[in-house]
Amino acid sequence: MPLEILLVLVVGGIAGITLLVHLTGRSQRCVLSLETAREQWVRHFPEDTVIDVTVAHDRHAALVRTENGPGLLWSFGADTVAQRLLDYDLLDRTDGFEILFHDFGTPKAIIHLDDLERPHWRNLMEPA
């Protein structure tokens, strides 16, 4: 098969799959509620007992308190990422926080919070 035809088939296939995923709604960001945040945290950390969950107003992040300490759960595309708040840098932004984890494998988290949420979240994230 000529390379030109193979290239068209590969590019067309990738574009078709991307379009199909988008049209079926699978490309939307995960929206969290108290229940889904609790379920997603337990999916990531099955040994944890969740004490409390605080969901951001935009519903794309949640602060989870467990017996093992606080953790952060946030939307990463259609899935979620969960990380314990042990070793991180918290940077203020005009629209919330940017959290840089000192774990090489964890992406930074940009959490959008309004002016009322920001002090409450900062207080919950501080070590006890």
Tens digit of pLDDT for each residue in 69-121? 899 999 988 889 999 998 899 999 999 999 999 988 888 999 999 999 999 99
**Contact predicate 78/89, CB 8 Å:** no
3-state secondary structure of 98: strand
Same domain, 9 and 51: no
Residues 63 and 20 in one domain: no
Based on the domain organization, do 114 and 77 belong to the same domain? yes
SS3 42: helix
What is the SS3 assignment for 48? coil
Query: How much is the pLDDT for 127?
Result: 64
Q: Does 108 lie in the same domain as 75?
A: yes
Tell me the β-bridge partners of 55: 62
* Same domain flag for 10 and 49: no
Q: Structural domain of residue 121, as residue ranges?
A: 34-125
Same structural domain for residues 54 and 96?
Answer: yes
Q: What is the count of structural domains for the chain?
A: 2
Residues 92 and 52 in one domain: yes
What is the pTM assigned to this prediction? 0.78
Per-residue pLDDT tens for 83-96?
A: 999 889 999 999 99
